Amino acid sequence: MAIVIVAATQLISTDDIVNQVSTKVEQATGRTLSVDGDKQLSFFPSLSIVLNKVRFANAQFGSRPNMATVDELNIHIPWLSIFSGELTIDKFVIVNPDILLETTAEGNVNWQFSVANNNETARPTKPSDNTGKDSDVVLPEGFDIALGQVEIQGGKLTIIDHKNKTTKAIDQLSLAVLLPSLRQTLTVSGSVRYMDKVFELESNITTPERY
Q: In the prediction, which pLDDT does 186 show?
A: 79
**Which runs of consecutive H residues, i.e. helices, occur in 62-188?**
79-84
Residue-level pLDDT at 118:
44
Name the nearest CA neighbour of 179 among 206, 151, 155, 149. Answer: 149
pLDDT of residue 139: 47
On whether the CB atoms of residues 153 and 95 are closer than 8 A, the answer is: yes
Question: Could you give phi then psi for residue 9, rounded to 5 degrees?
Answer: -60, -25
| pLDDT tens, per residue, the chain with 211 residues | 455 555 555 556 788 888 888 888 888 788 999 999 999 988 776 788 899 999 999 999 999 999 999 999 998 887 766 666 566 778 889 999 999 999 999 999 998 886 544 444 444 545 444 444 444 444 445 545 566 788 999 999 999 999 999 999 999 999 998 877 666 777 889 999 999 999 999 988 765 555 5
- CA dist 132 and 120 (Å) reads 25
**pLDDT attached to residue 122:** 42
Neighbours of 206 (CB within 10 A): 9
Q: What is the pTM of this model?
A: 0.74
Instruction: Give dist(CA 181, CA 144) in Å, integer.
Output: 6
- Predicted local confidence at residue 85, as pLDDT: 59
Q: Which long-range contacts (CB under 8 A, 24 or more apart) does 31-34 make?
A: 31/56, 31/57, 31/58, 31/59, 31/67, 31/113, 31/120, 32/56, 32/57, 33/57
pLDDT of amino acid 25:
84
Residue ranges of the domains in the chain? 2-210
Instruction: Give the chain's radius of gyration (CA, Å).
Output: 18
- Are the C-beta atoms of residues 17 and 11 closer than 8 Å to each other? no
